[in-house]
C-alpha cells in the first residue's frame, strides 16, 4: 500500500508576542492527503495557509499534534523528508546576479548533485520548463513569469514525491497564470507526484485540485472535492432567462426552492436550490412571454469562498 502524502492530527501553531501573550494561528488541524492527489488550501488572507505549508514542509514545528509526511515522522525524520519534497512560492527570490543556469546548478549542488549528473539534470529542467532562451540571463533581469518558471524548475531538480506550491500564480498575468497551471498539471501527470498548493484564485483550485480545504482563522471550515463543496453548501444553480413580453416575476419569488431573484426588463436571474422541479414551475410563469434564451449555471467556487469566508 502506498503511504499517504500527509497524515496530520490535531496540529496547533501559536505565536508569542514580545509581551508574552500568545495567538493561535492554526487550531486543531487534522487531515489526510492521499498519494497522487492535488490538494488545495484556500482561505482569506491570514487564515494560516502558508503556516500550514511551512509545517508540512518541515520548515517550522507545530506546538501540538502528530504529523507524518510520506509515511515519515515530520520531527524525527525531517532530513529524509526534505530529500523527497520541494517547494515553490509566489514572488520567488534567488541570488540576483546568478543566471538561470547558475541558479539551477547552485540548487542542484545543494541537493547533492555534481559532475555530469548535475549538468544533465539542470539541462533537463531548462528544457522541460522552456527556459533555454533565458539560461544565461541573470535572475534580476527576468520577468515575473520567468522567475516563477525558474522557481518551478528548481523545485523539480530533486524529483520530489511531494511538491508544495504557495500561491504559484500570484502576481502573474492571466495568460502566464494559465500556462503555469498547465505546467503544474503536466508535472503532476508526468512525474506522478502529490501536490499541495495554496491559492486565492478559485478557477485555479477548480481546475487543478482533487480536493480542497478551506481555512478560516486557522481552522478547517470545509474540506471536500470542488464539486461536493458547491453541492453541500446548497449554493443554488443560477438560471438566467431572457424574454420578450410580460412575465410574472414577482410570483417566481414565491415558488418553493427559490433562493434569490434579480429582475430587470426582459431579463431575470434566479437562484434555485432544486433543479428541474422549480424550473418547470418557473417556465409556466412565462406563458404570456416569448423566452429568448435560458442559461443555467452551476455555482462556482468563488461563491463557495464568499460563503465560507463570512
Ligand X SMILES: Nc1ncnc2c1ncn2[C@@H]1O[C@H](COP(=O)(O)OP(=O)(O)OP(=O)(O)O)[C@@H](O)[C@H]1O
Interface contacts to Mg ion, rule CB under 5 A? 49-50
Min dist CB 148 to ligand X, Å, is 16
- Establish if 29 lies at the interface with ligand X (CB under 6 A): no
Nearer to ligand X by Cβ, of 247 and 301: the residue is: 301
Binding residues for ligand X, total number by CB under 6 A? 10
Residue choice 50, 66, 99, 271 for contact with ligand X (CB under 6 A): 50
The site partner of 25 among Mg ion, ligand X, none (C-beta below 5 to 8 Å per kind) is: ligand X
Give the three-state DSSP class for 153: helix
- Establish if 99 lies at the interface with ligand X (CB under 6 A): no
Distance between CA atoms of residues 60 and 11, nearest Å: 12
- H-only helix segments in the chain: 49-56, 78-83, 100-110, 115-128, 144-155, 174-191, 202-208, 226-232, 249-253, 275-284, 301-309
Distance between CA atoms of residues 139 and 151, nearest Å: 11
Min dist CB 89 to ligand X, Å, is 10
- Establish if 47 lies at the interface with ligand X (CB under 6 A): yes
Distance between CA atoms of residues 68 and 81, nearest Å: 10
Min dist CB 288 to ligand X, Å, is 50
The site partner of 114 among ligand X, Mg ion, none (C-beta below 5 to 8 Å per kind) is: none
Q: Which residues of 145-161 are buried (b: 16+ CB within 10 A; e: fewer)?
A: bbbbbbbbbbbbbbebb
Min dist CB 48 to ligand X, Å, is 4
Distance between CA atoms of residues 150 and 153, nearest Å: 5
Residue choice 6, 29, 39, 43 for contact with ligand X (CB under 6 A): 43
The site partner of 47 among ligand X, Mg ion, none (C-beta below 5 to 8 Å per kind) is: ligand X
**Residue recorded with cell 486557522:** 218
| CB-based contact 214:308 (threshold 8 Å) | yes
The site partner of 99 among ligand X, Mg ion, none (C-beta below 5 to 8 Å per kind) is: none
- Establish if 51 lies at the interface with ligand X (CB under 6 A): yes
Span from 38-46, 77-85, 95-103, 109-117 in contact with ligand X (CB under 6 A):
38-46
Residue choice 49, 147, 230, 238 for contact with ligand X (CB under 6 A): 49
| CB-based contact 239:219 (threshold 8 Å) | no
Give the three-state DSSP class for 290: strand
| CB-based contact 183:129 (threshold 8 Å) | yes
Question: Is the CA virtual torsion 107, 42, 186, 90 positive or negative?
Answer: negative
Binding mask 244-283 for ligand X (x = CB under 6 A): ----------------------------------------
Q: Which residues bind ligand X (CB under 6 A)?
A: 15, 25, 43, 45-51
Amino acid at each position: 500500500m502506498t503511504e499517504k502524502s500527509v497524515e496530520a492530527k490535531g496540529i496547533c501553531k501559536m505565536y508569542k508576542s514580545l509581551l508574552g501573550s500568545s495567538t493561535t494561528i492554526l487550531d486543531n488541524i487534522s487531515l489526510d492527503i492521499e498519494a497522487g492527489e492535488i490538494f488545495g488550501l484556500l482561505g482569506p488572507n491570514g487564515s494560516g495557509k502558508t503556516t500550514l505549508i511551512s509545517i508540512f514542509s518541515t520548515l517550522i514545528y507545530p506546538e501540538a499534534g502528530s504529523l507524518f509526511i510520506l509515511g515519515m515522522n515530520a520531527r524525527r525524520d525531517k532530513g529524509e523528508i526534505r530529500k523527497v519534497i520541494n517547494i515553490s512560492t509566489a514572488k520567488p527570490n534567488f541570488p540576483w546576479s546568478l543566471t538561470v543556469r547558475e541558479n539551477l546548478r547552485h540548487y542542484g549542488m545543494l541537493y547533492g548533485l555534481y559532475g555530469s549528473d548535475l549538468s544533465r539534470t539542470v539541462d533537463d529542467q531548462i528544457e522541460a520548463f522552456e527556459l533555454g532562451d533565458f539560461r544565461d540571463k541573470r535572475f534580476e533581469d527576468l520577468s515575473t513569469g520567468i522567475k516563477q518558471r525558474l522557481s518551478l524548475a528548481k523545485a523539480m531538480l530533486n524529483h520530489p514525491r511531494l511538491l508544495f506550491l504557495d500561491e504559484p500564480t500570484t502576481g502573474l498575468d492571466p495568460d502566464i497564470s494559465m500556462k503555469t497551471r498547465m505546467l503544474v498539471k503536466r508535472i503532476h501527470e508526468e512525474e506522478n507526484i502529490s501536490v499541495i498548493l495554496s491559492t486565492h484564485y478559485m478557477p485555479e483550485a477548480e481546475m487543478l485540485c482533487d480536493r480542497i480545504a478551506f481555512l478560516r482563522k486557522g481552522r478547517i471550515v470545509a474540506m471536500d472535492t470542488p464539486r461536493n463543496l458547491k453541492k453541500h453548501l446548497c449554493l443554488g444553480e443560477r438560471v438566467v432567462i431572457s424574454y420578450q413580453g410580460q412575465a410574472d416575476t414577482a410570483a417566481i419569488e414565491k415558488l418553493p426552492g427559490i433562493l434569490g431573484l434579480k429582475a430587470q426588463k426582459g431579463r431575470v436571474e434566479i437562484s434555485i436550490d432544486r433543479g428541474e422541479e422549480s424550473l418547470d414551475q418557473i417556465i409556466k410563469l412565462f406563458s404570456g412571454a416569448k423566452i429568448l434564451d435560458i442559461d443555467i449555471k452551476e455555482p462556482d467556487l468563488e461563491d463557495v469562498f464568499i460563503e465560507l469566508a463570512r
